[in-house]
Structure 1
Amino acid sequence: MELPLAIVLLLGCASVSSVQGHASELPSGIERCKLMDEHCLINGINYVLRNYAKSGIKELNVIPLDPLHIKKFKIGRNPHSPVNIDLSFRDVDLLGLHQGVARKASGFTSDLSRSIELVMDVPEIVVKGPYSVDGRILILPITGKGNAEIRLSKTKVHAVIKFRPVSKGEHQTYAEVVDIKVEVTPQHVTYHLENLFNGQKDLSENMHALINENWQDIFNELKPGVSEAFGLIAKSVLDRIFGKLSLEQLFIV
């Protein structure tokens, strides 16, 4: 099966600066989808996730997506929320995307004023790496710094992306992300935060019991910040990709 070029690049979280020229110069087996061919796009996403998420695509300088390394992201305090915390992560790995299954990929047309919608189901997403937290959850203070492991089970990822066209010569139309909204909706979340309360075992166990018993309420409060962080990551990736190759190279138009 050939890989739709647009999806290889959409999923590639790396610089593609070594890719130059036209699609005909790209590695064999890379196929451009026709615009509005949602079936082609969905098949391409799922093929790439199954076969290239862990290894990457060396010919396109696309690094592996699973694990996906994230340098840092932060969820800030919300004084009006029962989950009023500063929660930050640095040098964390996001695992599980290779198991994702695309369900929808609509809106890819020559009219960039239309929104593009992507929907994917992921059996399990795991965030692992250093964290720090300070604030209050419900009525209890929480503080800690160490390694975290957060598991999101049966997660739906829904993204709506808006581009604007950028012309760079005849038959060279590039796409720039002007807005992106990502919603992450798991059916269950478990939290494990090492070294809470400077390693005080009783306090740590009580807090873990609290946050895991109330996982849904807590995640609902964190969800806007989590979704915003995912959106910023996705925007950075898409800007690098769609700034390198034109729509004429990505699609059959």
Structure 2
Amino acid sequence: MCPREEKALARCLRDALNTYIPHLVTGLPEWNIPPCEPLFVPSLSVQHSAGPITVTSTFTDVTVTGPSHMRVLDVKVNPRKHEVVAKLSIPELKLHGNYQLQGQLLMLPIEGEGKFSAKYGDIAALITIVLGRQHRPNDVDALKCQSLSVKFHVGTASMQLENLFGGDGELGKVMNNFLNENWQTLAEELQAPIEQALRDFFKPLADHAFATLNADDILSP
């Protein structure tokens, strides 16, 4: 149970989240929370043009590991706005899956298809939760997570694509080097689907955590 006073409530929620997050890899069956890692992204696409290289790529069956190592740094509660905002640090996210790529490198057609791996490091994330009321017959209203959004900033990123240019080692090395030298653009292109995956990670936790509380204990009238 957390106190109602805003600063104490924020600290209590921060500590509770840091306690529960590591357990989300295997899930919490006693609270009907399924395993939440690895995350799964069905597909995403990237279109990039810079200098001599123009690339269109599609990534499918992407798994994401690493969210369970995050830490909640700060939580702010605004009962009047019915809002909770949390700042988090994620040391690393690892992505694995399949890719298809085509484009041009110095007028030379490039293509590839196979496995890929990527890493995001030093991630700062901001989670915004809008709270609402869930009516309970013959009882006070429960609190509910009405909506949850995630935004994050990446400190470092890298990617490795296998089987570029039909397995040509030198040309493949050039292309992988280009992608890693331009990782900021790559991270921006992949940001939206990764934010959605992180939302899917946090939503079950938020749904359960807030459903155990009475709305009148948190929300202002």
Q: Kindly provide the CA deviation profile for residues 130-181 of structure 1, in whole angstroms up to 9, marking residues without a partner as x.
A: 233345689986533222111112211222344555646563354422x72x
Identity in percent: 18
Letter in 2 for 1:250: L
Alpha carbons of structure 1 residues 95 and 236: separation in structure 2 relative to 1, 3 Å = closer
Alpha carbons of structure 1 residues 240 and 153: separation in structure 2 relative to 1, 3 Å = closer
Does residue 228 in structure 1 map to residue 192 in structure 2?
A: yes
Alignment of 1:154-165 (within 5 A): 154-163=122-131, 165=133
Gaps of 5+ in 2: none
1:76 and 1:85 in contact (8 A); partners too: yes
2:67 and 2:198 in contact (8 A); partners too: no
CA distance in 2, matches of 1:142, 1:121: 37
2:25 and 2:38 in contact (8 A); partners too: no
Partner of 2:27: 56
CA distance in 2, matches of 1:241, 1:94: 18
2:41 and 2:193 in contact (8 A); partners too: no
Alpha carbons of structure 1 residues 155 and 239: separation in structure 2 relative to 1, 3 Å = closer
Alpha carbons of structure 1 residues 33 and 132: separation in structure 2 relative to 1, 3 Å = farther
CA distance in 2, matches of 1:197, 1:141: 9
The structure 1 residue matched to 2:95, chosen from 117, 121, 127, is: 127
Letter in 1 for 2:167: G
Alpha carbons of structure 1 residues 239 and 155: separation in structure 2 relative to 1, 3 Å = closer
Alignment of 1:33-182 (within 5 A): 33-35=2-4, 36=6, 37-50=9-22, 52-65=23-36, 67-77=37-47, 85-90=56-61, 92-107=62-77, 109=79, 111=80, 113-135=81-103, 143-163=111-131, 165=133, 167=135, 169=137, 171-173=140-142, 174-177=144-147, 180=149, 182=150
Does residue 205 in structure 1 map to residue 169 in structure 2?
A: no
Letter in 1 for 2:10: E
1:118 and 1:158 in contact (8 A); partners too: yes
Alpha carbons of structure 1 residues 247 and 103: separation in structure 2 relative to 1, 3 Å = closer
Partner of 1:27: none
Partner of 1:249: 212
- For normalisation by structure 1, the TM-score amounts to 0.65
Gaps of 5+ in 1: 1-31
Number of corresponding residues: 210
1:33 and 1:251 in contact (8 A); partners too: no
Segment of structure 1 superposing worse, 225-234 or 117-126:
225-234
CA distance in 1, matches of 2:105, 2:130: 35
Segment of structure 1 superposing worse, 144-153 or 167-176:
167-176
CA RMSD of aligned residues (A): 3.6
Alpha carbons of structure 1 residues 238 and 147: separation in structure 2 relative to 1, 3 Å = same
Structure with higher strand content: 2
